[in-house]
Amino acid sequence: MSRPNFFIIGAPKCGTTALAAYLSEHPSVFITNPKEPHHFNTDLNHGSYKSDKDYRSLFLGVSDSVSAVGEASVWYLYSDTAIPNILSKYPDAKFIVMLRNPVEMVYSLHEQMVFSNYENVSSFMDAWALQACRRNGENCPRMCPEPKLLQYKSACSLGFQYERLLSRVDRRKLYTVFYDDFKENPKKVWESLLSFLSVPDDGRVDFPVINSAKKRKSHMLMRVNDLYAKARSTIGFSGFGTGLFSRLNRWNMVFAPREPLPKEFDNLLRREFESDIKLLGELTNRDLRHWLESN
């Protein structure tokens, strides 16, 4: 059985889905399916592959032609235990981290939480205001497996998370991608990343948009679909084989751009993340002052 030798550790809503998808198509790279087993974040009640047996099963049958074997659990960067847990088993592992302006990231993350049925407050401003009481276990959605995922400021404080990461991982084992760079010149980032992973250039020139902003047409239908999936998992039922729920799930999805945040709230977020953005800039030797400018 192959062993993972690299990890895309986050952050969420920073382009990890696209990067993992591109890597999965490279003949010398293997990415787990699902891409986010979340095995090593033992401090978060999140993920379906917590047992060693289930996790190992994800790497069965990897081709001998594959030299880079990895997974892409985006909450590892946020987790306090994931990186130490990984290093205890795979001390030579390489890490890929993707970073984004937290003001953009946090709004996108809330939308994803709503889409995934982890968040039951559709207004981001209202959900932001609930962080304090949720930290005390109040007003947490029943369908959310881990309330810490709804602590939006902590989840998007990338400066703090990156500083902690550097205290644990040798920079030579770390590849950092800024979302803006990946979006503006994906080929340049791609070629540099392949060099980091020590795999040959596959000649990729097409980098399609993946995981665009999306919403649900019906949250009731989404809940029914989630309950059906949970019931199948609980009783070990393989399904009816009709594909009906998969078709309903696709029908229930609509791609739509996010509405701009009110200017006052946008400015509030920039003030909230100001010190963290400055810290991240210092750690990465990057001028990020434009992240603090109002739209």
* pTM of the model as a whole: 0.86
* Statement: residue 18 has pLDDT above 60: yes
% of residues, the chain, pLDDT over 90 = 79
Mean pLDDT, residues 100-122 taken together = 96
CATH 1.10.10.10 fits 6-213+257-292, yes or no: no
> Among 129-133, 168-172, 234-238, whose mean pLDDT is lowest?
234-238
Return d(Cα 88, Cα 52) in angstroms, integer: 14
Q: Is the pLDDT of residue 249 over 70?
A: no
- Choose among 16, 6, 19: nearest CA to 186: 19
Lowest mean pLDDT among 58-72, 206-220, 238-252: 238-252
Least confident of 115-124, 198-207, 221-230: 221-230
* pLDDT for position 216: 47
The structural domains of the chain, with segments of one domain joined by +, span 6-213+257-292, 215-255
Lookup: tokens for 110:
């809330």
Q: Say if CB 58 and CB 31 are below 8 A apart.
A: no
What share of the chain in percent tops pLDDT 70? Answer: 84
Q: Residue 294 and residue 250: Cα distance in Å, rounded? A: 36
- Token reading at 172: 């030579």
Residue 209 pLDDT class (50, 70, 90 cuts): confident
